[in-house]
Amino acid sequence: MNPAMIGRAPFGGLYGPDRALTIASMAAALLYLVSMGALPEAGNAVVRGLTCGLLATVAFRCVGRFNGRVLGMALGLCAAGEVLMALDPAGLFGASVTAYLGATLLLVLLFLANPAASNNVSVGRQALAAVTVAISPAFAAWLWPTLGDLAVLITVYIVAISAMAVAALYSRFPFWPTVAGPLLILLADALLAIDRFLVALPAAGAVTWTAAYTGQLLLVIGIAGTALQLTPRRIL
């Protein structure tokens, strides 16, 4: 399949067990969204872990190449982060962020391994990258006084997730859905940070969950569906 058609193909060209696993992940994400706050801690942990865990399985199953392994490991770390957050949102928040930091660094590696040709990055992508680079330090400085013991960890995470978004914009993957996914994840994390450390946002839980999960799903549809067939270029 032509990578340009990824966004138009159902589930990015995933079929059979891979499509079934993706649908099961979507069902788990919807269950958590509609039952938010109603399930016991163990139930929340299972459901939240399944959302990313099933997507990780799809990534590992689709292609046994570099991209599939890296994406699968990243989503596995996301699943671990979700489980930790569900079990103890306060006490294990730092551990959850650390798991997501590992996932983000793996995604940076994935995008760097698949660079766009130097003359094939649109002005729109370059503008989005410039905005991300400009806003991230200001956002980190805005949060810093409220972060306490988590200040260094959260700042490093902001740098990493901003780098992931920029690397995605300069990758050879199509904007929709592969680059839109990281941008949605970046938005979700920014809203989560504002809600947790600065000011309570209305419906923050539902909005951030929807944006973050949609971003992860788009990554799988865009990369595991067909873009994994691209052979990654050497970084060094």
Burial 33-55 (b: 16+ CB within 10 A, else e): eeeeeebeeeebbbbbbbbbbbb
Q: State if pTM tops 0.85.
A: yes
Residue-wise pLDDT tens digits, 49-60: 999 999 999 999
Pick the closest to residue 88 from 115, 53, 48 (CA basis).
48
Residue-wise pLDDT tens digits, 173-209: 889 889 999 999 999 999 999 999 999 999 999 999 9
On the 0-12 / 13-18 / 19+ scale of CB atoms within 10 A, 26 is middle
For residue 33, the Cα-to-chain-centroid distance in whole angstroms is 17
DSSP string, 71-92: HHHHHHHHHHHHHHHHH-TTTT
How do the domains of the chain map onto residue ranges? 3-229
On the 0-12 / 13-18 / 19+ scale of CB atoms within 10 A, 82 is buried
Residue-wise pLDDT tens digits, 48-95: 999 999 999 999 987 557 888 999 999 999 999 999 999 999 999 999
Q: Two tokens at 107?
A: 């995604």
Q: In the chain, what is the straight-line distance between the N-terminal and C-terminal CA atoms, in Å?
A: 29
